Amino acid sequence: MADIIKLLPDHVANQIAAGEVVQRPASVVKELMENAIDAGAESIKLIIKDGGKTLIQVVDDGLGMSETDARLSFERHATSKISSAQDLFNLNTKGFRGEALASIAAIAHVDMQTRTASNDVGTHLKIEGSKIVSQEVVATPKGTSILVKNLFFNIPARRNFLKSNQVELRHITDEFHRVALVHPNIEFHFYNNGSEIFNLPKTKHRQRIAHIFGSRMETRLVPVNEETEVLKVSGFICKPEFAKKSRGEQFFFANNRYIKSPYLHHAVSAAFEGLIKSEMFPGYFLYLEVDPGSIDINIHPTKTEVKFDDENTLYAILRSTIKHSLGQFNVAPVLDFEHDPNLDTPYNYKEKGAVLPKVTVDSNFNPFQEVPKSKSSGGGTFQKQSTKGWENLYEGLEQEVDVEQFSSLVIESESDEQGTLYDSEQAEEHMASTFQLRRKYVVSTVKSGMLVIHQKRAHERILFEKFLKEITVKEGVSQQLLFPLELSFNKQELGILNDISESLTNIGFAFESLEHETVKVTGVPLLVPESGIGTVLDRLIADYREGYGDGSISQAEMLAEVLSRNLAVKTGEVLDQESQMALVNNLFACKEPTLSPSQKITYTIISEGDIDKKFS
């Protein structure tokens, strides 16, 4: 039999490796920024165009590379971070696989300029699909500038799987946050399509968090700090009252590397038990320092999933540390056993005892005696009233009663209760045509049987079609606020609001400005209560960030769905008879009454035959 196993060409092997390392433009951003940090950069610029599909450029002022290193950096498994297998158990750098640049160069056009401090001129490399097109000497500043264009140009199938520019930009922004949060001692600049999104100066962790997520975040933070032989924990948690219904600002960093750990996240949630609702998510920015030998960061190509030697101990330490911080800063309720001087007995009464009141009773008192024998000790006397002239009470009753005076009087007669409920057809006509079952369903009758409507889903469908029509036809009614409401948003949230501002305006929202961190809301749709404006906008931003802009549904549908979900009646709300009838009538006036906006059934009909089978 002929030999069938053969070595793959380098360019094919690089493309296979690129499939693991480079999943989307955000993966390229992560690898290039981590390389810049490992190079000792003090200032890093990130430049993006069209969500990273057209251009990704990272410029740093780090050590730079020599001509030989520049050429060798694009070879597979070429790295300066480790030299032996033992180094894998003592990693202090971001990148160590030596696959990042090789994988990126295999699926994109790469242009790199680099220079070390000891050289007067630098090296300029151009690579297309792992092939070096040109290498030149160039005058360039100290450091490295890597420009990645036309990502996945030679793998059209992978490029077609990329989402919209907005979604890819959101993923890039998330990666930028993860790198910038853990390195406050580095200056970062982020540009998208020529406009500056972030300008982060060198600062401390708390200020870096505020620069990224807005100044309002700084007042929400509670410091966390604990050091043990096994683990050192530092960072911040958000106060319980600022917990969100969606996963928002939740960051774990282990040895200056962003990680994902559901187990440790559970430890944080357990520390907040009793302070927030079960469906809410607390925010946190936690920096963990452990022995590099006790953590394995090489179990996944993206290096975000790690394995700790003793996770149970870390869980217990982390949970108790957060609980301690919540109590130390008076965030969690605690029992107070301290002495309160306001409850002390006044000085003038300290030596005095309590005096019992004296009660005296007149033992000779007789209420049935006309004249008492003697006065009571209280000084009062009792005398029985005379009954003389009692006949005068009945004067005039012997006259005849005028029957005409009572001609309009309606007398309520007693009736047979059983006959009223079951026998009278007139009573059946006046019975309610709908009723509410367990504050969750509205039940009514139809020709074919019994109609059971899910009140929340049905109301969502009604509101969804109403809002969708207002957005598309641009006829939303706005209710102007007497006093404009000021809300704070960070730059990323402001960017999302700007993206959907036209649709928000069509639906009835009115904003005075969408440029600064503080946004003034001057008008809202009629169905949005003033107290719920902030919650609705936060939910809109969160849902848009979580993937509603991926192209599967339009922006108008996304807005209508989020608003309907937040403004619909909830399970547990009591509906009066008029509201129940309106719900039934409005549901069947919809174009698609059978399904809610989230594609769940809104009602079901139980036929008379199904009911008969239950009694057969």
Query: Could you tell me the domains of the chain?
Result: 10-200 (3.30.565.10), 208-328 (3.30.230.10), 452-587 (3.30.1370.100)
**Backbone phi and psi for residue 276, each to the nearest 5 degrees, phi listed first:** -130, 160
Kindly report the average pLDDT of the chain as a whole number: 82
Burial pattern 465-486, b for ≥16 Cβ within 10 A else e, equals bbbbebbeeeebebeeeeeeee
Rg (CA), the chain: 38
Confidence of residue 485 (pLDDT cuts 50, 70, 90): confident
- Label the pairing between strands 434-437 and 441-446: antiparallel
Alpha helices per DSSP H over 437-532: 455-473, 491-499, 501-507
Alpha-helix residue ranges (DSSP H) falling in 417-490: 417-422, 425-429, 455-473
Please say whether the beta carbons of 221 and 253 come within 8 A. Answer: no
Residue 80 CA to residue 382 CA, distance in Å, equals 113
Backbone angles phi, psi at 309, to 5 degrees: -65, -45
The whole model's pTM is what?
A: 0.70
Phi, psi at 219, each rounded to 5°: -80, -10
d(CA 336, CA 359): 42
Residue 314: how many other CB atoms lie within 10 Å: 24
Question: Angle CA(553)–CA(248)–CA(332) in degrees, nearest 5?
Answer: 145
- Phi, psi angles (nearest 5°) of residue 605: -115, 125
β-pairing, 250-254 vs 221-227, is unpaired
In tens, the pLDDT along 304-351 reads 788 888 889 999 999 999 999 988 876 665 555 565 666 666 666 666
3-state secondary structure of 572: coil
pLDDT of 158 strictly over 80: yes
pLDDT by residue (tens digit) across 551-565? 566 778 888 888 888
Measured at the CA of 78, the angle between CA 73 and CA 80, to 5 degrees, comes to 85
pLDDT tens, residue by residue, 200-257: 999 999 999 999 988 888 888 999 999 999 899 999 999 998 888 777 789 999 988 8
Highest averaged pLDDT of the listed ranges 334-338, 351-355, 414-418, 580-584: 580-584
Among 395-399, 436-440, 464-468, 507-511, whose mean pLDDT is lowest? Answer: 395-399
Q: Burial, 445: exposed, middle or buried (Cβ in 10 Å; 0-12, 13-18, 19+)?
A: exposed
Q: Which two tokens stand for residue 400?
A: 């005849």
**Confidence bin at 598 (pLDDT 50/70/90):** confident
Question: Residue 186 above 90 pLDDT?
Answer: yes
Tens-digit pLDDT profile for residues 496-535? 888 888 888 888 888 887 767 778 888 888 888 877 788 8
Task: Give the angle subtended at the CA of 497 by the CAs of 520 and 545, to the nearest 5°.
Answer: 135
